[in-house]
Amino acid sequence: MLAVAQIDYIRHEVNQKGESYADVARRMEVDPRTVSKYANQEEFKRKKKQKRKARVMEPVKPIIDKWIKEDLKKKKKYQRTAKKMYEQLRDFHSFTGSDRTVRDYVSKRKKELKESMTEAALPLESIPGTAQVDFGTGPFNYDSETIDLPYLVMSFPYSNSFYFQVFPSENTECLLEGLQRMFQHMGGVPKTIRFDNLSPAVNKIFSKGERELTDTFERFVLHFGFQYEFCNPGKGNEKGHVEAMVKYVRNNFLLPENRIINVDHFNETLWEMAEKDRDRLHYDKKILQSKLFEEDLNSFLMLPEKGFECARYEELKSDKYGIVNVDTKQYSTSPRFAQQKIRVRITYNEIAILNEDNEVIAKHTRLYGVRRKSMIWQPYLDLLSKRPRAIKYSSIYNQFPSIWTDYLKNCTEEEQKNALRLLGELLKNDDFSLLNEALTMASSHGHPSTDQIKHCFYTVINQSNTYKEISPAINLPTMPAATRGLSHYDSLLQSGGVS
């Protein structure tokens, strides 16, 4: 007799797709009469097996089942052995059967439970402990401008619940950072997660539906141990629940646009929003979604002991200024590393430049949007001020703001040293704005010295305190109009101006 899956395949190919018996038989390497038999069979009777109750095992089967289900959420090295289960039953549950009986039952039940978990993962629409993931886009008010930012949604079809987090991009690092945050917040990992064919996860889709995963995503899956599924190309409806939840999140939580100053701080407020939303009845099951989500949680896999480093590493060659390009953005290293291979650690919010010993040379906030270059000037300024003749000034100065480029080119060698020392002393967070203003002020009467620039710099800093409006500490009386004689003194005394 053929297996159930084979019979199901025959009936689908012949009855639903209209394939001939001969074609299906050829593909399956069976007789066409066999194909005809199962394609047209009306009734499939289940063979009844005679079961005898094991009187010793019956009371402890629910206990063993509970242990096995708990252990299947853990790595194999943390799972109980059948021998350990027998010892616990004997010592704490007054079990009088043999260890062989326990071993046989454990082996059988593990196989049955694993098979049921595998089959249950296929539909995915309403199985506890499964999830779907996708990105959406919403408007945000940032720095007085309205910009669109992606947000990552993980939805749970069984409980109709969700979590979401906002990110500056839909790249691999943002995807994995968002997934790990959700795992850690929930304290567990969904057994199966369905994705669209997101470029952060999938490098290439082959003709037969096989996929080449990105290296970082593949390691992420192995670390957390969940099963992944991808929609067929052009079949976004296969993750219909998360598609609907992306719209629900946008309409109920992101419109009108939220004002954000720090995205990470904003994300901290989103956990409670999602959890509060579960205090309503499921649209179909008429049970509180919060109760159904508890069933999701109970079906999750356990978190690994260690977190995953949501970063990728690249070997890049710097240009003649010691600058490397990461995803079309430029980041400085140090003039000592000009035109050398540099190791770069890339996370969703940081670019770290490493030396051959993996020590950090420079650390940048990762750039998104229109800004294209991040410079950390201290390594350049220190070297320039100590050895100005060792570097072609024009090459390095081309990276400075133009006002400083022009000024330094008109300096003597000694003036250049002093100016670079001044920049090294006053430059904070690699922000030239105050220094630019100071140099403009100092240059109003010709080529300034570094002392004049420094004086103007502190003048600019203190300028807001120089012209403070002084509010009176007392209420002054209204003075009467001036007249000849002494009558105005009487008016002043009557108004209470003198005590």
Q: What is the pLDDT of residues 374-408, one digit of tens each?
A: 988 888 887 777 776 655 555 666 678 889 888 98
pLDDT one-digit tens code per residue, 167-193: 999 999 999 999 999 999 999 999 999
Q: Place 121 in a pLDDT band, splitting at 50, 70 and 90.
A: very low
pLDDT at 130 over 70: yes
d(CA 172, CA 170): 7
φ, ψ of residue 331 to 5 degrees: the values are -135, 135
Among 58-67, 187-196, 386-395, 454-463, the range scoring the smallest mean pLDDT is 386-395
Determine the average pLDDT of the residues in 253-277: 95
Amino acid at position 455, single letter: H
pLDDT at 350 over 90: yes
What's the N-to-C CA distance of the chain in angstroms? 115
pLDDT at 51 over 60: no
Contact residues for 295 (Cβ-Cβ < 8 A; gap 6+): 128, 129, 158, 159
| Structure token digits, residue 27 | 């593909």
Residue 123: its pLDDT value, please?
Answer: 45
359 or 112, which is more confident? 359
pTM: 0.64
Q: Percentage of residues in the chain with pLDDT exceeding 90?
A: 43
Determine the average pLDDT of the residues in 85-102: 90
Among 154-168, 203-217, 250-264, 436-450, the range scoring the smallest mean pLDDT is 203-217
Residue 17: its pLDDT value, please?
Answer: 77
Determine the average pLDDT of the residues in 27-38: 87
Residue 203: its pLDDT value, please?
Answer: 79
- CATH superfamily membership of 130-298: Ribonuclease H-like superfamily/Ribonuclease H (3.30.420.10)
Residue 16: its pLDDT value, please?
Answer: 74
Residue 45: its pLDDT value, please?
Answer: 52
Determine the average pLDDT of the residues in 31-35: 88
CA 190 to chain centre: 16
Residue 50: its pLDDT value, please?
Answer: 53
Q: Place 357 in a pLDDT band, splitting at 50, 70 and 90.
A: confident
Is 242 within 8 Å of 133 (Cβ atoms)? Answer: yes
Determine the average pLDDT of the residues in 334-348: 92
